[in-house]
Amino acid sequence: MNIYKQIVISILVVIFFVGGTVALTKTFFNGGVSADTLRLDEQEATIRAINRATPGVVSISIFETTEKEKVKIGSGSGFLISADGLILTNKHVASAGAEGKSEYKITLYSGKQYYAQLIGKDPIDDLAVLKIFDKNLPYLELGDSNNLKVGTSVIAIGNALGRYANSATKGIISGLGRSLSASGNNGTTENLENVIQTDAQINVGNSGGPLINLEGKVIGINVAKDNGGESIGFAIPINKAKPVITSVKNTGRIIRSFLGVRYVTITPEIAEEEKLARSTGALIVVNDKGEAGILPDSPADKAGLVVGDIIFEVDGKKINEQLPLSAYVNQFAPGKKLGLKVQRGTTIFTKIVTLAEFK
């Protein structure tokens, strides 16, 4: 066989494997993958991810019954996390009405509707769990939010503006480890720590819906947007919700552990302004409402911690903006023992604490 025939046969083999002469032309003769091919791959991956996730995304309508009629008082989004009907959403969505007086109507992508039971609201993060009663329901697969990268493509899905169900917007992760205070329409305020920033449009009504990657896996729960800018939205990392999900599946309620400190995460700016001995860690403080930095009879209180202490390591993990104190503590159940490395003035010491249940 001469060399010309060998080349022709090799080209034909490549054509069969890549699925067409267009792909061959762009990669074989141009020496690389074209921009058009990359865009097509990204578009197909986006469509697949949306199609995979959308059946498990739900619209939530909240009603209250007055003396004369049932009135819709709020709406939001959520997503199924189990085949038997567990739904993850935001606490501020579930808190739209008066405590104990709200009814939750769930609409699936299929159009099927249910009334849901409120399982619980997370006392720490802006999360809540609802339950509808059925089986073999479509649910979303959870991803891993611990190793996210800025620039990763993501898609937000939800009930935009309370009337455009299963709307999808695409963008990238534009920041990580953000901390902010978010105010809801019902007057509630949530302190959000270590959240994902994205330029995927998150509109009113998207709260509680999933932020997914191009595999269709949930990496965040859409929670807020900054009205002061364009395309600045935020999502709670899914790994922060996993202890809540595990607790509900194992016990039927949300059980959270706590250390019992109020703190600020130290940044270089805070360290310089307050003339601190360290530029990272958790500085125990009295908050702006004058509430104690150490909760009475808490694990921190029993360990002898005081306002002004800096917790800079937990179990050998350095506490900083990427790993805030609460992000580490909240992944464990009550009863877990943690080793804290603390600086007080020029003295460094270690304390062993046993986490208590948040009541």
Annotated catalytic sites, by residue? 92, 126, 207
In the chain, count H helices and then E strands: 8, 20
- DSSP 8-state class, residue 25: I
CB 259 within 8 A of CB 353: yes
Residue 26 DSSP one-character state: I
In DSSP notation, 42-94 reads HHHHHHHHHHHHGGGEEEEEEEEE-SS-EEEEEEEEEEE-STT-EEEE-HHHH
Alpha-carbon span 318 to 314, nearest angstrom: 7
Largest CA distance in the chain: 92
Q: Is beta strand 113-121 parallel, antiparallel or unpaired with respect to 164-183?
A: unpaired
> 59: which strand partners?
77, 107
Measured CA to CA, the distance from residue 112 to residue 107 in angstroms comes to 6
Q: Which residue has the tokens 């329901």?
A: 137
Residue 184: which residues within 8 A CB-CB, separation 6 or more?
92, 95, 190
Q: How far apart are CA 349 and CA 359, in angstroms?
A: 29
Cα 52 to the chain's mean position, in Å? 19
DSSP alpha helix (H) spans, 87-237: 91-94
Q: Is 97 left (phi over 0), alpha (psi -120 to 50) or beta?
A: beta
- Single-letter amino acid, residue 341: K
Distance of CA 218 to the CA centre of its chain: 8
CB 299 within 8 A of CB 255: no
> Using CA atoms, how far apart are residues 264 and 169, in angstroms rounded to an integer?
33
Task: For residue 299, give the nearest of 334, 326, 250, 247 by alpha carbon.
Answer: 334
